[in-house]
Amino acid sequence: MNVKKIIFKWIPFVAIFLMVSGCYTDDNYFMVTQKAGDIDLFFDKVQTKEQTVTVNANDGIRIITELETIIDIPGSAFEDASGNIVSNTDILFTYVELKDKGSIVLYNKPTVTSDQIIETGGVFYFSVTDLSGENELRLANGKSINVRTEADNPVDDMELFWGVVDSENFFWLEADNNPNTWNNVMASEWELLDSNIVTEGLGYEFLSDRLAWINCDRFLDIPADQLTSVCVALPDNYTNQNTIMFAIFKDINSVVGLFGDADKKMFCESYEAMPIGYDVDFISITAFLDGTYHYASRSTTITANHEDSMVPEEKTLQEILDLLGQY
């Protein structure tokens, strides 16, 4: 047979093979069998809590947030990329404050270390730029930002964590790398006078010497034999390309992400660290490319080797925000 005829004969089959095999090039994703989407489309719409304040670099400033967190920024605290202290100019200080579990979901900042669940007393993000907003600044050596954030019943074993991204997954890393000490967050009560205004509060106080995602948390003291794996199934066209899933604890301030498992075709908690007997709400959010959103939720109690299933329904963006606002 003519070589050209052989080549043309097999081209359609090769093309089909390449198209099909391309669906399996990344084991971290299920194959999308129906409706394409991208969960980042949802996050782009809802991450709106960022606040920016103009600060005189020499003088510093005290910021009292909408949630009555007090952020004290000292003067002459920032330097540029070359290590020069920034002075005689205004700078832009940006912060994000997440105190409720619904907000933690909206910013996709689950309360987990690389292998354990933690309970948060507040999640924060700080960044600083010059007045143009184009050049990032950093805290100078020896300078820290003081944070006081309210809590109804502060405990003594909270400690400071930094946000870390590893292989696209976000988790929290202890600031002191020591799980047996917690002296960098204090349970505190304050009464501050500023411009003849007295601000009183009860909660947590800490110093941050870096600009990043910051969290004050504590480890859950749960025996290893009371921890288990958890997986939740969704219909086939809901994947970790277009869907995010969380377990929101009802009685503690913790949120855990569940990620697509290509072998099980389920969303699973990857640490096998879910505490048996705890009440949670599983929730899933999906963003499709046509601008529609789907949402599912299920209330349950964690059991050993827990498996569950949900069927999402179409919701408007505002309906999803209202549902998350309940947390």
Contacts of 306 (CB under 8 A, 6+ apart): 228, 229, 230, 231, 274, 300
Select from 181, 196, 219 the last residue of a domain: 219
Are β-strands 227-233 and 306-309 bridged in parallel, bridged antiparallel, or unpaired? Answer: parallel
Are 163 and 286 found together in one domain?
no
State the burial class of residue 74 (Cβ atoms within 10 Å of its Cβ: 0-12, 13-18, 19+). middle
For the chain, what is the largest distance between any 2 Cα atoms, rounded to a whole number of angstroms?
96
Share of the chain above pLDDT 70, in %: 89
Return the ∠ at Cα 75 (arms to 193 and 95), rounded to 5°: 80
| CATH number of domain containing 62 | 2.60.220
Q: Are 273 and 295 in contact (CB under 8 A)?
A: no
Residue type, 65: T
Q: For residue 59, what pLDDT is reported?
A: 93
Are 212 and 275 found together in one domain?
no
Give a yes or no: residue 16 inside a domain.
Answer: no
Select from 219, 239, 265 the last residue of a domain: 219
- Structure confidence by residue, pLDDT tens digits, 46-65: 999 999 999 999 998 999 99
Q: For residue 35, what pLDDT is reported?
A: 61
Q: For residue 270, what pLDDT is reported?
A: 80
Are 207 and 59 found together in one domain?
yes
Q: What is the mean pLDDT of residues 128-155?
A: 96
The helix (run of H) or strand (run of E) holding residue 297 is strand 293-301
Q: What is the DSSP string of 109-133?
A: --SB-SS-BEEEEEEEEEEEEETTS
Are 231 and 201 found together in one domain?
no
Helix or strand or coil: residue 238? coil
On the CB side of 62, CA atoms within 13 Å amount to 11
> Residue 146 to residues 92, 126, 149, 306: CA-CA distances in angstroms?
17, 12, 10, 42
| CATH number of domain containing 228 | 2.60.40
Give a yes or no: residue 297 inside a domain.
Answer: yes
User: Which residue range is the domain that position 232 belongs to?
Assistant: 40-44+222-324
- Structure confidence by residue, pLDDT tens digits, 225-279: 999 999 999 999 999 899 999 999 999 999 999 999 988 999 999 888 999 999 9
- Structure confidence by residue, pLDDT tens digits, 143-187: 999 999 999 999 999 999 999 988 778 999 999 988 777 789 999
Select from 198, 219, 240 the last residue of a domain: 219
Q: How many domains does the chain divide into?
A: 2
Are 67 and 108 found together in one domain?
yes
φ, ψ for residue 103, nearest 5 deg: -65, -35
Q: How high does pLDDT run on average in the chain? A: 88
Residue among 49, 70, 32, 35 at smallest CA distance from 324: 49
Are 103 and 206 found together in one domain?
yes
Are 178 and 296 found together in one domain?
no
Are 213 and 226 found together in one domain?
no
Cβ count near 260 (within 10 Å): 21
